[in-house]
Amino acid sequence: MADRVNPAGKDKKGVFFAKNKKFMKNGTGRERWTDERNDGEKPVMRDGAGKSVMRKSGEKPAIKDGAEKPMMRKSGEKPAIKDGAGKPVMRKSGEKPAIKDGAGKPAMRNSGEKPVVKNVSGGLSCPVSRMCGGCSFTDCSYSAQLAVKEGKVRELLKGICPVMPITGMENPYYYRNKIHATFQYRKGGEIVSGIYQEGTHRVVKVDSCRIEDQTADAIIGTIRSLLKSFKVKIYDEDTGFGLLRHVMIRRGFSTGEVMVVLVCASPVFPSKNNFVKALREKHPEITTIVLNVNDKHTSMVLGERNIVLYGKGFIEDRLCQLTFRISPNSFYQVNPVQTEFLYGKAIALAGLTGKERVIDAYCGIGTIGLIASANAGEVIGVELNRDAVRDAVLNAKRNGITNVNFVNGDAGEWMVESAARGLTADVVLMDPPRSGSTEAFMKSAVQMKPQRIVYVSCNPETLVRDLKVLKRLGYQAEAAYPYDMFCWCDHVETVCLLERLSN
């Protein structure tokens, strides 16, 4: 079999290209790179009338109370495999537990640091929450919300594996490092910005949001105020007339770098140099401005073409002591405070000793694999989005990491090809989008005979489905750890450890 399969070629920049690279199809049948984020963001969706609408998944949670208790665990310690009828744990935003491995290399954080336990009793107190619909837990305390989320994971994983206490945030506000805004004319020509009201194509005016970065919100306000004087017309979804469709802003919380992406229906932006100058005068913190061209009738926010108007066209941020570049179309976790804890847990569960071959599937810009590489023999990252893979390769270079390679292609296809040519792995780390993984991926993963699989999931429903498949294939889920990455929204992230059953 091995000679039939040529798993990947390598280009000059060191990017591997998987054979039979496949594009995903979106709802309109057009080709696109997957832009499906698992970041809890509100997708632009279409209602029956073909209008763009922002929708949330809706139902009001049952409110239960949950008093927090600290969960203490030592660095690298195996999880206690029993069902902790657990209480949520709170993590503090600024907490930076630097964990060094024996060789003094930066290692990953794990769950060993002492949690700060504090009751965040207030609700969201957002004046537009009812109209906006982006958040689900608007009327209950944060601790009650954590208890609901933990309960949901516990319920779904009943009979599959124990669920540990959810890890919450000490300060669950203004945590999103990425925001989108859309614009609309009101009667009299006033321009408002915000998000589409649930089930409609009316933009709910949101001048400041309790979960979004405040610098980003202020920049959106400035852009809105500049549009008229620069004669920038707002794009109309129905007529296709106008220019500006969305604005996306990303801020590196630890570097302070700010990227503004103007998503436009055409590459021709009136007086673009003066617009950039006026925006930068008000916001000197902006480090790059990009014009993204989205000329398709699509529900995807971003198009494929980026024109750099100012700066380097990407931002950098630091996570777990490494520096990562992030391009406009690349995925990057939206809650970096919680991400450090999530990654720390995922890598601790991988039980690395420095020798292992690790596969980081659905790797995005390479974050998990690059952080894990300090404690692994070799890491192979696989990712569908071409821009993300380019970032990942440059991220390895930027951090002086030489034991990691990246493959650009469909993770399932690459796994099938690689397993067929006899590739083995000691650990498979997988972090698929909300839709979860595929049977083909999982069948091939088990053919590689990893001792452990660490599954990072942003959707507990597809996690359960996939854990059942993996069980059938000989991998037992040992424990699951929920993380609150999307405070006030109904998504919940979970890390799950699976071990290989002996034959």
User: Catalytic amino acids?
Assistant: 458
Please check whether residue 327 is in contact with residue 305, taking contact to mean a CB–CB distance below 8 angstroms: no
Residue 410 within binding range of ligand SAH, rule CB under 6 A = yes
Q: CA-CA distance, 481 to 345, in Å (whole number)?
A: 8
Residue 333 within binding range of ligand SAH, rule CB under 6 A = yes
Residue 362 within binding range of ligand SAH, rule CB under 6 A = yes
Residue 481 within binding range of ligand SAH, rule CB under 6 A = no
In the chain, what's the furthest Cα-to-Cα distance?
72
- The DSSP 8-state label assigned to residue 43 in this structure reads P
Q: Which is nearer to ligand SAH, 162 or 433 (CB)?
A: 433
Q: Which of 147, 388, 446, 492 binds ligand SAH (CB under 6 A)?
A: 388
DSSP secondary structure, 162-210, as one string: -BPPPEEESS-SS-BSEEEEEEEE-GGG-EEEEEEPTTSSPEEE-S--T
Q: Which is nearer to ligand SAH, 252 or 364 (CB)?
A: 364
Residue 328 within binding range of ligand SAH, rule CB under 6 A = no
Q: Which stretch binds ligand SAH (CB under 6 A): 43-51, 70-78, 291-299, 410-418?
A: 410-418
Q: Between the CA atoms of 125, 129, 133 and 137, what dihedral angle is there, to the nearest 10 degrees? A: 20
Phi, psi of 297, rounded to the nearest 5 degrees? -85, 85
Per-residue binding letters, 1-40, with ligand SAH (x by CB under 6 A): ---------------------------------x---x--
Residue 363 within binding range of ligand SAH, rule CB under 6 A = yes
For helices 142-156 and 460-472, angle between their N-to-C axes, nearest 10 degrees: 30
Q: Which is nearer to ligand SAH, 196 or 414 (CB)?
A: 414
Q: Is 405 helix (H, G, I), strand (E, B) or coil?
A: strand
Residue 124 within binding range of ligand SAH, rule CB under 6 A = no
For helices 272-282 and 214-227, angle between their N-to-C axes, nearest 10 degrees: 140
Please list, in sequence order, all residues whose beta carbon lies within 8 angstroms of the beta carbon of residue 188, skipping any fewer than 6 positions away.
none
Please check whether residue 240 is in contact with residue 202, taking contact to mean a CB–CB distance below 8 angstroms: no
Q: Which stretch binds ligand SAH (CB under 6 A): 75-83, 125-133, 392-400, 404-412?
A: 404-412
Q: Which is nearer to ligand SAH, 243 or 445 (CB)?
A: 445
Residue 291 within binding range of ligand SAH, rule CB under 6 A = no
Please list, in sequence order, all residues whose beta carbon lies within 8 angstroms of the beta carbon of residue 120, skipping any fewer than 6 positions away.
90, 141, 142, 143, 168, 169, 170, 171, 172
* Nearest residue (beta carbon) to ligand SAH: 364
Residue 380 within binding range of ligand SAH, rule CB under 6 A = no
Q: Between the CA atoms of 397, 402, 408 and 410, what dihedral angle is there, to the nearest 10 degrees? A: -140
Q: Which stretch binds ligand SAH (CB under 6 A): 106-114, 185-193, 380-388, 462-470?
A: 380-388
Q: Which stretch binds ligand SAH (CB under 6 A): 40-48, 89-97, 286-294, 359-367?
A: 359-367
Residue 311 within binding range of ligand SAH, rule CB under 6 A = no
Q: Which is nearer to ligand SAH, 117 or 440 (CB)?
A: 440
Q: Which is nearer to ligand SAH, 182 or 327 (CB)?
A: 327
Length of the chain: 503
Residue 196 within binding range of ligand SAH, rule CB under 6 A = no
Q: CA-CA distance, 448 to 425, in Å (whole number)?
A: 5
Q: Which of 213, 217, 237, 431 binds ligand SAH (CB under 6 A)?
A: 431
Please check whether residue 470 is in contact with residue 477, taking contact to mean a CB–CB distance below 8 angstroms: yes
Q: Is 455 helix (H, G, I), strand (E, B) or coil?
A: strand
Q: Which of 53, 384, 427, 445 binds ligand SAH (CB under 6 A)?
A: 384
Give least dist CB 197 to ligand SAH, A: 28
Which residues sit at the interface with ligand SAH, rule CB under 6 A?
34, 38, 331-333, 362-364, 367-368, 382-385, 388, 410-412, 431, 433
